[in-house]
Amino acid sequence: MNIKGKIVTLRAVELEDMELLRGMLNDPEMEKAVVGWSFPVSKYSQQKWYESAIGNQKNQRYVIETNEDGAVGIATLYDIDWKNRRATHGIKLANKERRTKGIGTDTIMAIMRYAFDELGLHRLDGSWFDDNIASKGVYTKCGWTVEGVKREYVYKGGEYKDLSIVGILAADYYALIKRNHYWEENSGGGSIK
């Protein structure tokens, strides 16, 4: 089953997506903006990761596609805790030009709808650096709330950075879509009012 937004489709990761994902992992600009870290990724190590990741029910990864651009990034639901009904969510878009087309907003809205309506999760967690203005803006617009700050938590670029811990409850999501009518036909084609 694919997960549909207004302008994106989230689908399973396929072997032919490895080049896109490896390119994102090896992109130094993206590495600066995201919370995790990685070593340079080879084709071989990417292949091994793919083989081990397929079918993992606690860590789901979805390729983000649009009709216009094809595959443009990845969205995740990982560390899924089925007992407590929560998961951690993240998103990476491969190309800066695509980050202003509403793709991020639509991806987050589609992930939330899937997590809350289909999986029955109660909350989603995430994090961002304060200087990641794009993530901060899109997640705030999508109803996410800063729940705390881990001071000097991540070492990146030669300095320790604070990490904002964020989350959204299913009730927050339902209040948001009631207010902005996001999923209704004439609500602005992917925008949040």
What is the model's pLDDT at position 20? 86
Indicate whether 76 belongs to any domain.
yes
For residue 108, the enclosing domain spans 3-180
pLDDT above 90 for 149: yes
pLDDT band at 96 (very low <50, low <70, confident <90, very high): low
Indicate whether 187 belongs to any domain.
no
Q: Say which residue, 142 or 53, is predicted with more confidence.
A: 142
Indicate whether 190 belongs to any domain.
no
What is the model's pLDDT at position 36? 66
125-161 per-residue burial string, b: 16 or more CB within 10 A, e: under 16: bbbbbeebeebbebbebbbbeeeeeeeeebeeeeeeb
**Edge-to-edge strand ranges of the sheet holding 9-12:** 3-4, 9-12, 60-66, 70-81, 86-93, 123-128, 159-169, 145-156
Indicate whether 79 belongs to any domain.
yes
Indicate whether 165 belongs to any domain.
yes
Indicate whether 186 belongs to any domain.
no
Name the pTM for this structure: 0.88
Nearest C-alpha neighbor of 34 from the set 99, 93, 109: 93
Q: What tens digit of pLDDT does each residue of 33-43 get?
A: 677 666 777 87
Indicate whether 73 belongs to any domain.
yes
Indicate whether 188 belongs to any domain.
no
pLDDT above 80 for 134: yes
Question: Letter for the amino acid at 193?
Answer: K
**CATH code at position 124:** 3.40.630.30
Total number of domains constituting the chain: 1
Average pLDDT over residues 2-24: 90
